[in-house]
Chains A and B, each alone.
Chain A
Amino acid sequence: MRMRFLLPLGIFLILVVFLGIGLRLDPREVPSPFIGKPAPVFSLPQVADPSQTFGSTNLKGQVSLFNVWASWCVSCREEHPFLMELAKAKLVPIYGLNYKDERDAALGWLQQFGNPYLTSAFDADGRVGINWGVYGVPETFVIDKLGVIRHKQTGPITQQVWMETLFPLIQKLQAEEVGA
């Protein structure tokens, strides 16, 4: 007899738990198939100097952040002050991928707001972006000493994301011994 009341209640509670989990998930967060894989190979002209190139080989040898940005991207502007802080703290080198932008606009943006990047690669047609699975700028990849992508942050890096996820991961990766 008691079962008659407990069963619907149980089903209801299970539903509540599932819906609760569903509410907390971010549908914009698409898991990247690149985690644990070597960074896709590319070589592009630099934003500041088109005669120089920047490519995937430059992302080896140290733990680094590879941040995809554009001057037309509103969330990038929101993220920018935090990147400037990070660059000042010199905890990890930050490289940029200037995605589907115009060179003048990109240079103007860096001049106006400051340049947190050691170098930015200029991806005018966005094909390198596609090869990296970029779908919503800003995106940030954490790359280890071997040039392997270890994490991807979609959307702006905030203080919270940095403290909870990125910084602990970067510290762990920096402590990793690279054999052979």
Chain B
Amino acid sequence: MMKRIAFPLLLALTSALPATEIREFQDPAKQATYETLIKDLRCLVCQNQSLADSDADLAKDLRTEVYNIIQEGKNGEEAVKFLTDRYGDFVLYRPPVKPITYLLWLGPFAALLGGGWFLWQQARRRSVGSRADELTAEERQRLERLKAKIEG
């Protein structure tokens, strides 16, 4: 019985282990700052992974830098500044709003507005089109006059 569950249990346990080294802080607040930070920072070597996920050598070194900064009692922003000063905004998964990223931040809203305007135009044209079949008051009067002429 033990044998039968031992292997799946082992599998479940190993898959739950982080791929990278474990770093511990005395202060749980610092620990939390560190854990969130490395999840929000991007590794430059494996560009689709965060610092927390990446097994790259550089990611490990950068985790050490972040660890030391937090351990020194500095806040998360200072750790982020350390990295952006050296590697640029590329390390951020959430790029800051500045002129060069306006398109990135505002683009989706602009597209939504543009699409909404397009749909509204289409809908209006269609309703105008159906009303075009009807006669205006003036045309109706003219029709009546013509009818009267023919019949009379």
Where the two chains meet, the residues of A that have a C-beta atom closer than 8 Å to any C-beta of B are: 27-28, 30-34, 100, 126-127, 130-133, 135-136
Contacting B44 at CB < 8 Å: which of A100, A131, A136?
Answer: A136
Contacting B47 at CB < 8 Å: which of A28, A127, A132, A133?
Answer: A28
Where the two chains meet, the residues of B that have a C-beta atom closer than 8 Å to any C-beta of A are: 44-45, 47, 57-58, 61-62, 65, 84-88, 90
Closest CB in chain B relative to A119 CB, distance in Å = 23
Complex Cα gap A30–B61 (Å): 18
Contact yes or no, B90 A31, CB < 8 A: yes
- Contact partners of A30 in chain B: CB under 8 A: 44, 87-88, 90
Complex Cα gap A130–B51 (Å): 14
- Contact partners of A136 in chain B: CB under 8 A: 44-45
Complex Cα gap A135–B88 (Å): 12
Query: 8 A-B Cβ contacts within 8 A?
Result: A27-B47, A31-B88, A32-B88, A34-B86, A130-B65, A133-B86, A133-B88, A136-B44
Known: A28-B47, A30-B90. A135 touches B58 (CB 8 A): yes
Closest CB in chain B relative to A5 CB, distance in Å = 16
Number of A-B contacts (CB under 8 A): 34
Complex Cα gap A27–B48 (Å): 11
- The residue on A at minimum CB distance from B82 is A130
Closest CB in chain A relative to B54 CB, distance in Å = 11
Which among A32, A33, A100, A131 has the highest number of chain B CB atoms within 10 Å?
A: A33
Given contacts A33-B85, A33-B88, 19 further A-B contacts (CB under 8 A): A27-B47, A28-B47, A30-B88, A31-B88, A31-B90, A33-B86, A33-B87, A34-B86, A100-B57, A126-B58, A127-B61, A130-B65, A131-B86, A132-B86, A133-B87, A135-B44, A135-B45, A135-B58, A135-B87
- Contact partners of A135 in chain B: CB under 8 A: 44-45, 58, 87
Complex Cα gap A133–B44 (Å): 10
- Contact partners of A100 in chain B: CB under 8 A: 57
Which 9 pairs across A and B sit closest by C-beta, in order of nearness? A135-B44, A133-B86, A33-B88, A30-B90, A133-B87, A126-B61, A31-B88, A135-B58, A27-B47
- Contact partners of A31 in chain B: CB under 8 A: 88, 90
